[in-house]
A and B are shown apart, each in its own frame.
Chain A
Amino acid sequence: MEHNEIYTMMMDALDGELSTTGHVELKSHLRACPPCAREWQALLAIDVLFRQTPALGPAVDFTQRTLARLPNRRYRLWVISAIYILLLLSGALPLLLVAWAISRFGPMVTEPAAIPELVASIDRTLQIMSTVLRALLSGIGEILIQQPAVLGWLLVMAGVVFLWSGIYQQLVSQPRRVQ
């Protein structure tokens, strides 16, 4: 008989799932095979040891200390409900605004004379936005050209923030000891 088959029989015997015939076969093999008999002895010793070792419980005031750490579920329900309502409103408000805009400006847009005016107004708005953006970018560029140390200082600050966030993460991930 293959040793792997014997190991499977040993496991079944430990789980109380080995048939009577299986028991006889296993017993006769163990008599003839000292290495398997030794392994069986060790398996059985550990099985008995684990089954006889009682479960351990926490300290007596465990329940009170755990209850003290529980979040307020009712408060949490209120907060979640408020967030849901806000989300609902934030979704509904733009829809209402669009509906209002269509009802207000719809008839004007459908008039042929209103379309060139609308295009011109959009064009003007885009021009203003691009001018402002260009002014901002050129301002930042000039500052960096005149004061290159500013860029270095910004890089140093980013590095310090990155370093401290790493240290904080390490501290937070350390297991806290129970008093």
Chain B
Amino acid sequence: MNEEQVWLEQARQGDKAAFGKIIEAYQTPVYNLAYRMLNNAGEAEEAAQEAFIRAYTRLDSYDPAHKFSTWLLSITSNYCIDQIRKRRALLLSIDEPLAPHPALMSDRSKGPEAQLMANEQQELVQSLLAELAPDYRQAVVLRYWYEMSYEEIAEVMDTTVSAIKSRLFRARRQLADVGMAMDLSPALEEVTV
């Protein structure tokens, strides 16, 4: 039994401190997924907290035969999709100017110029992701930030591998269209096939 399984077993018995270790270990992946999906720091933090609370209350339904991270990210992405639907119902759009992530506001470890470039990069990424439908965005985020295989993405999104391939294909082409309109070009060394 590895450390994570021990924490999970202790958390199942009601040990909050053990679940705290799980939160420490997964807070960045969970938050990052929520932020990429929702494009708002406050909502992303709320979504990440809600995902951990749901995971804690539903620990009995977790099957240890599967990866815990996949199960947790699946809870997070489902919650985010629900939030996006609610937001649509409230006639709010992801294109509206939203509060940027605190990490984009200041980071003392970087110089001002590097910080500015990093902020611009994050903003560009978010503006590109905002062009995609939620299920396409979800597939793209899981592929690029979590380096998940098509099979793993299909498991998280509860769909087939062929559906994921199709979503990624369309999402990339859509992004390429936006990229061409923005005149994006890769670094010279990356151009080679």
B32 part of interface (Cβ distance < 8 Å)? yes
Residue interface mask A22-66, B partner, CB < 8 A = 1: 010011001000000011111111111111110111110011011
Q: With contacts A26-B193, A57-B31 known, is A67 near B23, CB below 8 A?
A: yes
Q: With contacts A56-B32, A56-B35, A62-B31 known, is A51 near B186, CB below 8 A?
A: no
**CB-defined contacts of A66 to chain B, threshold 8 Å:** 23, 27, 48-49, 52-53
Q: With contacts A42-B176, A42-B180, A48-B186 known, is A11 near B169, CB below 8 A?
A: yes
Residue interface mask B19-62, A partner, CB < 8 A = 1: 11001100111011001000000111110110011001101000
**CB-defined contacts of A40 to chain B, threshold 8 Å:** 193
B184 part of interface (Cβ distance < 8 Å)? yes
CA distance A59 to B35 in the complex (A): 13
Within 8 A of A (CB), among B165-193: 168-169, 172-173, 175-177, 179-180, 184-187, 190-191, 193
- Interchain CB contact under 8 A, A49 and B191: no
- Interchain CB contact under 8 A, A49 and B121: yes
Residue interface mask A143-179, B partner, CB < 8 A = 1: 0000000000000000000000000000001111110
How many chain A residues sit at the interface, stated as a range, is 35 or more
**CB-defined contacts of A134 to chain B, threshold 8 Å:** none
- Interchain CB contact under 8 A, B193 and A43: no
* Stretch of A73-81, A100-108, A110-118 on the interface side: A73-81
B: which residues have CB within 8 A of A?
Answer: 11-14, 16, 19-20, 23-24, 27-29, 31-32, 35, 42-46, 48-49, 52-53, 56-57, 59, 83, 86-87, 89-90, 101-103, 121-122, 124-125, 128, 140, 144-145, 168-169, 172-173, 175-177, 179-180, 184-187, 190-191, 193
A-B complex: 9 closest residue pairs judged by Cβ atoms: A42-B179, A74-B14, A73-B14, A55-B32, A50-B144, A57-B28, A45-B184, A42-B176, A45-B186
